[in-house]
Amino acid sequence: MQQANNPKAAQPLGRISHLLETILASQGGYLADTLYAFKRTTESEFELKPVQDKKSLKPRWLILSREHYFETSKEYPIANKHDLKKALQFDDNKAPFAGITLQHIERINEQSYRVTFWVINPKVMECIDFSPWLILPETYVLAKALNENINLATIEGLNKTLFISKTGQGVFSGIQSPQTPSLESFAFSTGSPIKVNNENNENNEQYFIANNKEFVGLLQKGLKSLNITKLQGFMVNVNSINWQNYPWKQAGIITTIVLTVYLILSSSWLVVKQQLLEQQLATQRVQVNQALSLQKKYQQQLQWQAVLTEPLQDEFPYWNTWPIVLDAVSVGAKFTAIHYKNSKVIIHGTANKSVKATDVLAKLSENTKVVSPSFSQPVRKYRGNEKFAISFSFAEPLSQQPLSQQKVEQE
């Protein structure tokens, strides 16, 4: 679905379709008063050209003009299609003459089928020097080109005016003649109702009129609407085919073109898929390299951190004493000296008149980093102030703390 919506992807498909249509048209023809070949005029249109040299065209499929076959339709009350085909082998009452019989089977209901027969005049097959494999009645192709809401049609062909009628009994057709000079008389003879309101048919859409310039376009439209699976009844007997005249060269060319196109499309798809995978791998390779680079830097930082913390493993954190002392100063005391002895810190200070030494001790006790604060000497009073000496130890050695936590504590 995506390629069809992409203009760039649709161009190769359009060229392939154009090439196949041209090849198939070159293998077909239209037989009326003479043999005509399909020639492309534009990118989407064809025209019928009389074949001057009959040996130059040996069509493998053929559209047969209406005057060359007898058309009839019958209903068979047989429910099984396989039984119907057996019964058709014994039904010889199909035309006033014996010839190649083409047929189209359609189901009417669960108990019956309708079969349309086209019996080709044997004189026609005697006049041509080729054996087509597929013969399509002109009536059947043109009826496929008409819209569903059209019951009657007047179509001007190359050398005749053709009437087509769709009724409940099937599709009927006829050539304009003194017996049926107009569409109204033909509709009356086939039992198809017609209401002509005006000459331009502005208010009635049940019938259709086409001139000879539109004839080839209708044939082309009808051919495109055919269902390949339902063309079995239009195949000529295989035993009558001359395999010596089989176009092996053309078949080889078509097969080569189809295989070449398939290989080109599959190779192009594989190349595009490989490029997409390479782009994804390149993107992932860059991301992986970035992740490895970051991991390497992280490992280097961890190693550098270990190197920095190694000299401090056995060192006592004297500097951690200052935040503790400053916290105690906020009470209102003054410190005169700080000593370190036997893993304990001893601070000497003086409490103001409004502050007692016990207040300083209580402040130190509130600090979670201080363990067992106590007076190392008796408190003495001097000029109304109290002199004291308080000793304490740290709650946890510095060597057991992470470096980041040590920096935060120092700050």
Residue 223 and residue 270 in one domain? no
Question: Checking DSSP bridges between strand 112-120 and strand 101-109, what pairing results, if any?
Answer: antiparallel
Q: Which domain holds residue 301?
A: 261-310
**pLDDT of 200 over the 60 cut:** no
**pLDDT of 311 over the 80 cut:** no
Residue 293 and residue 349 in one domain? no
Mean pLDDT computed over 267-281: 90
Residue 87 and residue 151 in one domain? yes
The confidence score (pLDDT) of residue 138 equals: 92
Helix H, strand E, coil C: the string for 61-88 is: EEEECHHHEEEEEEEECCCCHHHHHHHH
Q: Which of 307-316, 348-357, 364-373 shows the lowest mean pLDDT across its residues?
A: 307-316
The confidence score (pLDDT) of residue 114 equals: 92
Task: Categorize the per-residue pLDDT at 195 as very low, low, confident or very high, splitting at 50, 70 and 90.
Answer: low
Instruction: Give yes or no for a contact between 77 and 88, defined as CB atoms under 8 angstroms apart.
Output: no
Residue 291 and residue 236 in one domain? no
The confidence score (pLDDT) of residue 407 equals: 47
Q: Of 197, 218, 246, which closes a domain? A: 246
Is residue 253 situated within a structural domain? no
Identify the residue with better confidence: 6 or 298: 298
Residue 384's domain is classified under what CATH number? 3.30.1360.100
pLDDT digits (tens, 9 = 90+) for 383-405: 778 888 888 888 765 444 544 44
Residue 350 and residue 305 in one domain? no
Residue 241 and residue 327 in one domain? no
pTM of the model: 0.55
pLDDT digits (tens, 9 = 90+) for 71-124: 998 999 998 988 998 888 888 777 888 888 899 999 998 899 999 999 998 888
Q: Which residues contact 186 (CB under 8 A, 6 or more apart)?
A: 152, 163, 165, 174, 180
Q: Which of 40-49, 82-91, 235-244 shows the lowest mean pLDDT across its residues?
A: 235-244
> What are the two backbone dihedrals, phi and then psi, of residue 324, each rounded to the nearest 5 degrees?
-70, -40
Q: Count of CB atoms within 10 A of residue 172's CB? A: 22
Residue 158 and residue 116 in one domain? yes
Is residue 10 situated within a structural domain? no
Task: Categorize the per-residue pLDDT at 11 as very low, low, confident or very high, splitting at 50, 70 and 90.
Answer: low
Helix axes 7-26, 248-309, angle to 10 degrees: 160
Is residue 13 situated within a structural domain? no
Residue among 47, 22, 11 nearest 254 (CA):
22
Q: Of 221, 246, 271, which closes a domain? A: 246
Q: What residues pair up with 387 in beta bridges, in sequence order? A: 350, 380
Both tokens of 378, joined, read 């008796």
Residue among 159, 131, 166, 126 nearest 145 (CA):
166
Task: Categorize the per-residue pLDDT at 7 as very low, low, confident or very high, splitting at 50, 70 and 90.
Answer: low
Instruction: Give yes or no for a contact between 77 and 91, defined as CB atoms under 8 angstroms apart.
Output: no
**CA end-to-end distance (rounded Å), the chain:** 67
Is residue 14 situated within a structural domain? no
Instruction: Give yes or no for a contact between 112 and 77, defined as CB atoms under 8 angstroms apart.
Output: yes
Helix axes 357-366, 321-329, angle to 10 degrees: 130
Task: Categorize the per-residue pLDDT at 62 as very low, low, confident or very high, splitting at 50, 70 and 90.
Answer: very high
**pLDDT of 3 over the 50 cut:** no
Residue 75 and residue 126 in one domain? yes
Total structural domains within the chain: 3
Residue 158 and residue 278 in one domain? no
**pLDDT of 198 over the 70 cut:** no
**pLDDT of 278 over the 70 cut:** yes
The confidence score (pLDDT) of residue 119 equals: 92
Task: Categorize the per-residue pLDDT at 246 as very low, low, confident or very high, splitting at 50, 70 and 90.
Answer: low
Is residue 2 situated within a structural domain? no
Residue 265 and residue 386 in one domain? no
Residue 225 and residue 293 in one domain? no
pLDDT digits (tens, 9 = 90+) for 111-158: 999 999 999 988 888 788 778 889 999 999 999 999 888 888 999 988
The confidence score (pLDDT) of residue 117 equals: 92
Mean pLDDT computed over 354-371: 85
Written as one letter, the residue type at 212 is: N
Task: Categorize the per-residue pLDDT at 199 as very low, low, confident or very high, splitting at 50, 70 and 90.
Answer: very low
**pLDDT of 333 over the 90 cut:** no
Is residue 9 situated within a structural domain? no
Is residue 386 situated within a structural domain? yes
Residue 75 and residue 198 in one domain? yes
Is residue 97 situated within a structural domain? yes
